Amino acid sequence: MAMNGFALLPLLFAILLGLRSLRITQQGNSVLVERLGTFSRTLQPGISVVIPILEKTVSRQSLKEQVLDVRPQSCITKDNVRISVDAVVYWQLVDHFKSYYAVLDMETALVNLVLTQIRSEVGLIDLDQTFSARQQINDRLLQELDMATDPWGIKVTRVELRDILPSDGVSAAMEEQMTAERRKRATILDSEGAKEAAINVALGEAEALVLDAEARSKALVIDAEATAQQQKLLAQARAQAAATLAQVLEQHPTAAEAVRLLLAKDWMTMGEQLAQAKGGSVLMVDPHSPGSLLAALRELQQDPKG
């Protein structure tokens, strides 16, 4: 029995060595294997065999995208303003061999590189640009970090500046500047409103004067047309009356005495009206001579303009 037990020892030892030689690599991970201190191969996901004593795994890393939180860093802008900046860097391992053998502590090296690049980029711009051009800064940081980390087997996928905080004194000065700017804008808006109001009032008064002048002009034209029409009708009436009177005198010669009496009664009134009428005619006749009156009436009938 004792001999059988000793015979099983080599078998158990071989089984243990076989189990220790098995390596399980999960999906999304990478494992480096060295043989006698020299790089041998990279294990693929699944079950792999590593020769005990001769080979060993030296590094196991994830191939998934990772996040690096960069602590706040004091920086000085182009216009000599001190600010505090922190960032978030998204990166991914693309070459495990380079990252293990090219740099001793990859994450520390990456953090220091990010801080150096942030200081460099912030030092090229003014304080105002750090707020307005944040996306441009992120793009430049991404490009520069991606180029710098390529020898390390790292792919930087995104860089985001998270917080940009000026000092307390600078913040107070910025608040005062913004307050003054808002006051300036309010003053400009008030003055523009007053200017527009004055212009509108002046335009309204000018339009009112124009409308009043047009109304007066139209009224004068209407009055003149009415007066001219009245004078025309009056002249036509006088002409028709003179023609009728002339016909009566020709048909009834005995009516001359009645005409003389009528003319003697209204002669003064008729003379004044004819003398004051615009464009009127004055009949210079002898009221005691029916012949001259008849001749004057005929002349007035032939010339209605009188």
pLDDT in tens, 131-181: 778 888 888 889 989 898 889 998 999 998 888 877 666 666 666 777 778
| Closest-CA residue to 39 (of 85, 79, 96) | 96
Which of the listed ranges 36-45, 146-155, 178-187 does the model predict with the highest average pLDDT?
Answer: 146-155
| Per-residue CA distances from 183 to 142, 169, 174, 193 (Å) | 40, 21, 14, 15
pLDDT value at position 104? 84
* Residue 261 pLDDT: 58
Split at pLDDT 50, 70, 90, the class of 1 is very low
Summarised one tens digit per residue, pLDDT across range 115-131 is 888 888 888 888 878 87
* The token pair that represents 274 in the structure block: 């004819």
DSSP annotation of 44: P
Place of tokens 């992120």: 138
Residue ranges, comma separated, of all CATH 3.30.479.30 domains in the chain are 66-172
pLDDT digits over 47-70, tens only?
877 877 788 888 888 888 999 888
Select the CATH number that applies to the domain covering 66-172 from these four: 3.90.105.10, 1.20.120.1200, 3.30.479.30, 3.30.70.2190.
Answer: 3.30.479.30
Q: How many residues does the chain have?
A: 306
Indicate if the pLDDT at residue 306 is higher than 50: no
Q: How confident is the model at residue 92, as a pLDDT?
A: 92
pLDDT band at 197; cut points 50, 70, 90: confident
